[in-house]
A and B are shown apart, each in its own frame.
Chain A
Amino acid sequence: MGRLRRCGALCGSATKLRHCLRWNFGAFRSFTEDSLVGMRDVPTSLQKWLPKIASGDAIGTLALFEGKGNPSPKAVKVTANGGVLNGVKRPVADGAIADFAVVAARTGSSGRESDISLFIVDLKAGGVEVKSLTNIDLTRGQAEIAFKDAKAEPLGAPGEGWSVITQVLDRAAVLMAFEQVGGADRALEMGRDYALDRIAFGRPIGSFQAVKHMLADMYVSATLARSNCYYGAWALSTNAGELPEAAAAARISATQAFQHCAKNNIQVHGGMGFTWEFDCHMYYRRANAVALGLGSLSYWEDALIDRMRKKNAA
């Protein structure tokens, strides 16, 4: 499936709660695949995994974070020496169900980006300990993965890990942004439907301006985000030079829209929106979890301004 169609599929499946599980794997698998398949030459370490990813027999994940903080080469402490990894990654999305992980590890100590390299680790092999972690989004698991002399195969050239990670994050940001826009749209639709059905003071609550203006503002956020995402999808599908800037814009806009719509959807629903019974909380949880998974807003805000400056300077 082309990247553009995949954006549409992610967006569409995110709008349906019943597809939550598929949606769950969709984005993470997509961006793992995307980044791996996107490499110029498929390294031998990857060759055995690709057919299994395609057939659905294997699930991959990206092990990047090590506790608090946004993506940064300095934050990578897991070491790679003599073909084995040592250290702890957390949180790792889908880590508890993944069969293998692409791991960012430290192979140098110069203080530069070139200290970081990528490795593939079979998570079912020895020296790997996986523990599920509780997180705010109950439909997307997070895990801690501890490596103790775990066997690792290099992925790509040594020292090029961070530049690949940056590209993976940009590509993932566009794909995830479509999931976020789909979620925002669905939260808006739920709020709209409830405002039409719920009667208070003798009239549908959607006829009160305080409510309808809140919904109009949700529509505005979702629309701006969708437009930024389309531009991101265009940049992704054509490998345009604008991709880094377009990806950051799509990410920020879609994160804001999903958080805004999920939050106000609960408000429109009133007390019912705060019950376990109603689905509103699932969108609220997902909106806030997905806002963090690829680096939080402050990371992307910083990236966007950097990239706009670079473009202007060029």
Chain B
Amino acid sequence: MNFDDTPQEAAFRAEAKAWIAANAPKQYEDELRKASLGRVALKGANILEVAKAWQRKKADAGWACLHWPKEYGGRGASPIERVIWQQEEGPFGRLSSMFIIGHGMCGPTMMAFAGEEQKRKYLPPLASGEKIWCQLFSEPAGGSDVAGLRTRAEKHGDEWVINGQKIWTSGAHYSDYGILLTRTDPDVAKHKGLTMFFLDMKSPGVEVRPIKQASGASDFNEVYFTDVRIPDSQRLGNVNDGWNVSLTTLMNERMSIGAGVATGFPELLDFCNSLMLEDGPAIENRAVRSKLANWAVKASGLKYTSMRAISALSRGERPGPENSIGKLVAGSMIQDVATYALDLQGAAGALSGPEDAEVAGKFQAMLLRAPGTRVEGGTDEIMRNIIAERVLGLPGDIRVDKDVPFNKIPTKGRA
């Protein structure tokens, strides 16, 4: 692990720093810095507009989607340069949250499977934030088992007709386009009958319904498809090869390292520094210190694990599945941290109004959002499977439905 930049990296960092200092929307820096988990909100401004304006500015100056080729709206930068950019962009990077899926997953999938003309048409506006993309994979019948999805695509002439339902689609309510995984052959094993498309989210027959989450907020949606027509030219990859196409998408998700994961620890440490308990400052209490120390080493362990991955990137290596630990550790940690922050307050910890609760209700919001973190983008259990199978080389789960035609797989638990 190397904590220093090479001369080229240092030059790139200086250039990025200078440009950010001259161009970033400084008026929102404080609010962005304080946002810890879940959606970022700005007082007196529309977050979507602010985010799009920042993305546009970056794109015009060549700072959007750094690792993409220039002809598709990127900069042709190296992976390590992308990480350096993320470090320098700091809190302003939080304005990119609605672009992450498009830039991190849809874009790379388009790059790998769309035609040249389509790439030149769709990718630059995706890079510049002018168009937002979403990823339509999960379904009520296919969450962790995404290959169990049931949305049908049937060929009618040069078009495909789509019927079915997607769920947990982040940002569908403000997206312009989406990549869509469908079932095209239910008579073969589940992984072998899938096909990928991209579509205009404004197509007739697409209906987006926000889901009200346990936290009360709505980040995700249900998306219904009723006789939605997609031209065959918008198919990504071969018919029935959609599973392999989706692996490209998901593999790119893991490349998104370096931005750092929220653990809640800095907030808890600050809180304990100022909190008074019955017998003195919380930070001087032995039990509190023990808890803090345990979370401190997890937070620093994650930080330096990510720096090791960055070092590997800098040496030209490709980050592997070992980076799955970030979300796994941070997800339950933030939940435990929030629980403890409330515990320290006794009965008053239950109050969540910004005017009544400590730190404007941040820990209460953290507590209510945290269960989602442990589920979205691969549950804790899926993350452990990935580590066990791909890092430690343990056998895969025994899959009883692997060689069964999809339409013969049982769909009910208790009869």
Q: Interface on A for B, CB 8 Å cutoff?
A: 188, 192, 195-196, 203-204, 206-207, 209, 212-213, 215-217, 219-220, 223-225, 227-228, 230-231, 234, 248-249, 252-253, 256, 297-298, 300-302, 304-305, 308-309, 312
The CA-CA distance from A206 to B388 in the complex, in Å, is 9
Contacts of B392 in A (CB 8 A): 188, 192, 212, 215-216, 219
Main secondary structure of the interface of A (DSSP, over half): helix
Is B396 in contact with A227, judged by CB distance below 8 angstroms? no
Partner of A196, one of B328, B391, B395: B395
CA distance A54 to B305 in the complex (A): 35
B296, A224: Cβ atoms closer than 8 Å: no
Q: Is the CB of B384 within 8 A of A227?
A: no
Given A196-B395, A206-B395, A312-B273, the answer on whether A212 and B385 have CB atoms closer than 8 Å is yes
Q: Does B294 sit within 8 A of A, measured CB to CB?
A: yes
Contact A212 B389 (CB under 8 A): yes
Contact check, B304 vs A228: say whether CB atoms are below 8 A apart.
yes
Contacting residues, chain A, for B329 (C-beta < 8 A): 220, 224
A304 touches B293 (CB 8 A): yes
CB within 8 Å of A: which B293-315 residues: 293-294, 296-298, 300-305, 307-308
| Residues 338-381 of chain B, each 1 if its beta carbon lies under 8 Å from chain A, else 0 | 00000000000000000000000000000000000000000001
B residues within 8 A CB of A219? 325, 387-388, 391-392
The interface residues of chain B lying within 8 Å CB-to-CB of A215 are: 388, 392, 394
* Complex Cα–Cα for A70 and B3 (A): 34
Chain A residues within 8 Å of B391, by CB: 216, 219
Determine whether the beta carbon of B289 is less than 8 Å from that of A305: yes
- Sample 21 A-B pairs with CB under 8 A, ordered by A number: A192-B392, A196-B394, A209-B397, A212-B388, A213-B381, A216-B388, A219-B387, A219-B392, A227-B301, A227-B305, A228-B304, A230-B1, A249-B296, A249-B300, A253-B301, A256-B297, A297-B290, A301-B293, A301-B294, A304-B293, A308-B269
B16-43 interface bits toward A, Cβ cutoff 8 Å, 1 = contact, 0 = none = 0000000000000000000000000000
CB-CB < 8 A to B414: which residues of A? Answer: none
Select B305's contact among A203, A223, A305, A309, beta carbons within 8 Å: A223
Given the complex, which residues of B lie within 8 Å of A209, measured CB to CB?
Answer: 381, 384-385, 397
Checking B322, B387, B394 against A206 with a beta-carbon cut-off of 8 angstroms, the contacting residue is B394
Listed in ascending order, the chain B residues whose CB lies under 8 Å from chain A are 1, 3, 269, 273, 283, 286, 289-290, 292-294, 296-298, 300-305, 307-308, 322, 325, 328-329, 381, 383-385, 387-389, 391-398
Closest to A233 in B: B1
Which among B297, B307, B384, B396 is the interface contact of A224 at CB below 8 angstroms? B297
Docked-complex contact A204 and B395, CB < 8 angstroms: yes
CA distance in complex: A219, B325 (Å): 9
Residues of chain B lying within 8 A (CB to CB) of residue A309 = 273, 283
Question: What's the least CB distance linking A309 to chain B, in Å?
Answer: 7
* B344–chain A nearest beta-carbon distance, Å: 15
Give Cα A256 to B297, complex, Å.
Answer: 10
Closest chain B CB from A217 CB (angstroms): 7
CB-based contact B301/A207 at 8 Å: no
Min CB distance, B296 to chain A, in Å? 6
Q: Which residue of A lies closest to B387 (CB)?
A: A216
Whether B398 pairs with A207 at a CB distance below 8 angstroms is yes
Q: Shortest beta-carbon distance, B405 to chain A, in Å?
A: 24
Residue contact A220 to B394, C-beta cutoff 8 Å: no
Known: A223-B322, A227-B308. A305 touches B394 (CB 8 A): no
Chain A residues in 8 Å Cβ range of B383: 216
In addition to A203-B395, A216-B385, 13 A-B residue pairs with Cβ atoms within 8 Å of each other are: A196-B394, A212-B385, A212-B388, A213-B388, A217-B384, A228-B297, A230-B304, A230-B308, A231-B304, A249-B301, A253-B300, A302-B286, A304-B296
Q: Provide the bound-state CA to CA distance between A309 and B300, in Å.
A: 15
Contact residue among A207, A223, A228, A230 (Cβ-Cβ distance under 8 Å from B395): A207
With beta carbons under 8 angstroms apart, the residue of A217, A224, A300 that contacts B293 is: A300
